[in-house]
Amino acid sequence: MPRRLSWILAALLLAALPVAASPERLVQLVDYVGVDYAAAVADGEVISEFEYGEMQEFAALIEEESATLADEAARARLMPLASALRERIAAKAGPGEIAALTRQMTDILLASPLLVATPKAIPAPARVADMYQAMCAGCHGAQGQGDGPAVTADMEPPPTDFTDRERARARSLYGLYNTITLGVEGTAMPAFAQLSEDDRWALAFFVGAMHVTPEERARGEQAFGTLRATQLPDLRDLVTATPGELAARDERLADVHAWLRTAPAKLAEVQPDPFAIAIAGVRESVELYAAGEVEAAQGMAVDAYLEGFELAEAALSATHGALVLEVENAMTALRLAIRDRLPEAEVRAAADRAIELLREARATQTGDSLSPSVAFVSALIIILREGLEAILVLGAMAAFLGKTGRRDALPWLHAGWIAALAVGVLTWVISNYFISISGAAREVTEGITALIAAAVLFYVGFWMHSKLNARRWQEFIQGSVQQALDSKRLASLFFIAFIAVYREVFETVLFFQALWAQVTIPSAETSLLAGAALGALVIVGLAFAIFRFGVRLPLRQFFAVTAVVMIALAVIFAGKGVAALQEAGKLPLDPIALPRIELLGIYPTVQSIAAQLLVLTAAIALILYNFRSARPAA
């Protein structure tokens, strides 16, 4: 075959292959139909033949290009909607129905990893004012009213009037950015792809704010100062949501959205919303997975939990404990899907489920502030949950020292927990004013301290149990009590107290930071402090009760009970330590069908349960050894 003929055949074959649709162009077509359809049909009648013909043409293109979209999961969801869109336009359906269909399609496309719909940095619209006058005002007019000197009577369609409020409230900033980037085929609107991405985003904000009235700006600025972080948009929400959608939910959100279009730099002042961070992290993990970067995707899925949802978990668990567990399970399922390299469609389904639950959780936090009752209960639960384990250790050790006549060693114990509180306060100061403690660092710290505490508690529990057989008991009673706590054990008292308390203080500091950010009214702040104070009083009362209980026990029985308590705490801490390191992505994670009981350190994973079984088995083996070694002496 002649070489020229083979090249011609190859070219014909390539031309016959379907070309993957551009998701950016598809979003533009869908957006155009959703916004402009109202100018073509009203009350089931065509009011502009030109516009209606364009709508039919674009609907056919949308259906055709949806079938060639490279994102398989998005394509499967888009195809039925694209067919329905073409059919409903042919039936002259109402603008509201068409707008709802196109919005559904836009949401699917914006969730695709093929599409980057967020600026890399917060745009600065003021700097492109001169650029607008030089490049856009000729058609769109100096004030954006579509009346520029280059407009002619036969220009069809006419340039967009950016001050048209009804049209502007139906269009997102990303839609404007996309049009600036791609232009509009068959119209006088050219593509401006030669501009930098930053310039195109800045222009989108500049023209997207032209419909905003001074009254809206004033209301938006005022609302911005009163709404909580969970209600305020992040940068992605700001550029992908339409004002009309937000107004349907809450007019204040629409006002804030309108004001932020004029002053996007104010977003940098917003305290990060943990739910928004989690949702963004889940989305990015899917994008990385689709790009073949599996390890990076796994790390991002871990960060989405640690840097996002976990910071809202404490307050949420007080009122929506079941939902917290659902979110955690969904985010774990996403990590496992990525780890096991499941098909992209399954990973995307896991991510969609996690995002759905995160949004549901965020919706529970949409009040202006946590109510005083919720703030009180949340603070109380945090203090009780974090303080109980520490006080069990301290109470048992203090009672032991009192019972064995070694009250002179109490200063070592007190020095340990006082040092832990001091370091906890220092941690709070550093994390508030100097550095931000990352989620991974937080979980690693909690995990390592829990495992160290488990080891020390296991040792102390075994040592106490070893005093129960007759021979060793007689030795202990006949003069060894005063020497039982040598310098090494005195130092271990300090270490046990420090580790037991600092781990809980560290976690409490981070939980209260997240909780405090969610109270914005004085009554809720007062209730939060009252809840924390009551929790502290309850912990002190428990410590006193544990001490009194220990004092009343006969010495040998006290040793037995305390040994069991210490070993039980070692088992609990072992489970918690492994779980924390798993959350930080430092240990593998394989779920099993068991209930999750945080109070007992039971987390339904192979590794966590195995660690607890290992500690428990070692304890049983050593106890049996103690009993066997005691028989000859008996």
| CATH number (domain holding residue 142) | 1.10.760
CA–CA distance, 502 with 390 (Å, rounded to integer): 9
pLDDT confidence bin for 480, thresholds 50/70/90: very low
**pLDDT value at position 111?**
75
| In a domain? residue 294 | yes
Cβ partners under 8 Å of residue 414, min gap 6:
497
CA–CA distance, 362 with 491 (Å, rounded to integer): 47
Question: Do 602 and 517 sit in the same domain of this protein?
Answer: yes
CA–CA distance, 175 with 105 (Å, rounded to integer): 13
CA–CA distance, 18 with 89 (Å, rounded to integer): 26
- SS3 category, 436: coil
Q: Which has the higher per-residue pLDDT, 344 or 482?
A: 344
Domain total in the chain: 4
Question: Do 333 and 385 sit in the same domain of this protein?
Answer: no
Cβ partners under 8 Å of residue 163, min gap 6:
143, 144, 145, 210, 211
Question: Do 215 and 68 sit in the same domain of this protein?
Answer: no
| In a domain? residue 425 | yes
| In a domain? residue 115 | no
**pLDDT value at position 514?**
57
Question: Do 487 and 586 sit in the same domain of this protein?
Answer: yes
Question: Do 190 and 252 sit in the same domain of this protein?
Answer: yes
Of 317, 314, 371, whose CA–CA distance to 528 is shortest? 371
- SS3 category, 371: coil
| In a domain? residue 323 | yes
Query: Angle at CA 128, nearest 5°, toward 124 and 131?
Result: 165
CA–CA distance, 47 with 49 (Å, rounded to integer): 7
The encoded tokens of residue 432 equal: 């508030």
CA–CA distance, 33 with 22 (Å, rounded to integer): 17
Question: Do 512 and 379 sit in the same domain of this protein?
Answer: yes
Query: Tens digits of per-residue pLDDT, 498-521?
Result: 877 777 777 677 667 656 655 656
Structural domain containing residue 182: 125-146+160-269
With the C-alpha atoms ordered 405, 407, 408, 413, is the resulting torsion angle positive or negative? positive
End residue of a domain, out of 343, 363, 383: 363
Cβ partners under 8 Å of residue 596, min gap 6:
325, 602, 603, 604
The residue type found at 246 is L
Q: What is the pTM of this model?
A: 0.55
How many Cβ atoms sit within 10 Å of the Cβ of residue 280? 22
Task: Judge whether 261 and 233 are in contact, CB under 8 Å.
Answer: no
| In a domain? residue 152 | no
Task: Judge whether 503 and 446 are in contact, CB under 8 Å.
Answer: yes
The encoded tokens of residue 397 equal: 């050790």
Among 173-182, 183-192, 491-500, 578-587, the least confident range: 491-500
Whether pLDDT at 478 is above 50: no
User: The CATH number of the domain where 282 resides is what?
Assistant: 1.20.120
Q: Which has the higher per-residue pLDDT, 91 or 630?
A: 91
The encoded tokens of residue 268 equal: 């940098």
CA–CA distance, 516 with 323 (Å, rounded to integer): 21
Mean pLDDT for the chain overall:
78
pLDDT confidence bin for 561, thresholds 50/70/90: low
| In a domain? residue 119 | no
CA–CA distance, 461 with 139 (Å, rounded to integer): 83
Whether pLDDT at 138 is above 60: yes
Question: Do 344 and 380 sit in the same domain of this protein?
Answer: no
Question: Do 506 and 461 sit in the same domain of this protein?
Answer: yes
Task: Judge whether 85 and 103 are in contact, CB under 8 Å.
Answer: no
**pLDDT value at position 432?**
61
How many Cβ atoms sit within 10 Å of the Cβ of residue 283? 23
pLDDT confidence bin for 482, thresholds 50/70/90: very low
The C-alpha torsion from 359 through 363 and 365 to 367, rounded to 10°, is 150
The string of DSSP codes covering 440-502 is HHHHHHHHHHHHHHHHHHHHHHHHHHHTTSHHHHHHIIIIITTTSS-HHHHHHHHHHHHHHHH
**pLDDT value at position 620?**
84
| In a domain? residue 544 | yes
Task: Judge whether 215 and 138 are in contact, CB under 8 Å.
Answer: no
| In a domain? residue 2 | no
What are the distances in angstroms from CA 525 to CA 369, 370, 519?
Answer: 10, 9, 6
Question: Do 482 and 535 sit in the same domain of this protein?
Answer: yes
Task: Judge whether 400 and 558 are in contact, CB under 8 Å.
Answer: yes
Whether pLDDT at 340 is above 60: yes
Of 269, 270, 265, 169, whose CA–CA distance to 212 is shortest? 169
Whether pLDDT at 291 is above 60: yes
Place of tokens 């280059």: 150
End residue of a domain, out of 110, 135, 170: 110
Question: Do 280 and 203 sit in the same domain of this protein?
Answer: no
What are the distances in angstroms from CA 470 to CA 98, 524, 564?
Answer: 86, 58, 18
The encoded tokens of residue 215 equal: 């009254």
Among 239-243, 398-402, 412-416, 530-534, the least confident range: 398-402
Question: Do 377 and 359 sit in the same domain of this protein?
Answer: no
Question: Do 558 and 489 sit in the same domain of this protein?
Answer: yes
**pLDDT value at position 581?**
82
How many Cβ atoms sit within 10 Å of the Cβ of residue 396? 26
DSSP class of residue 591 equals B
End residue of a domain, out of 344, 363, 382: 363
How many Cβ atoms sit within 10 Å of the Cβ of residue 80? 10
Half-sphere exposure of residue 205: CA atoms within 13 angstroms, side-chain side: 27
Instruction: Catalogue the E-assigned strands of 307-355.
Output: none
Task: Judge whether 308 and 282 are in contact, CB under 8 Å.
Answer: no
Query: Tens digits of per-residue pLDDT, 435-472?
Result: 555 555 666 766 776 677 677 667 666 655 565 544 45
**pLDDT value at position 473?**
46
Over residues 34-51, mean pLDDT: 88
Cβ partners under 8 Å of residue 360, min gap 6:
323
**pLDDT value at position 14?**
35
**ω into residue 632 within 30 of 0, thus cis?**
no
With the C-alpha atoms ordered 24, 26, 29, 30, is the resulting torsion angle positive or negative? negative
pLDDT > 90 fraction of the chain, expressed in percent and rounded: 17
The residue type found at 277 is I
Whether pLDDT at 303 is above 80: yes
Buried/exposed code over 548-573 (b: 16+ C-beta within 10 A; e: otherwise): eebeeeebeebbbbbbebbbbbbbbb
Place of tokens 């580790």: 499
DSSP class of residue 69 equals B
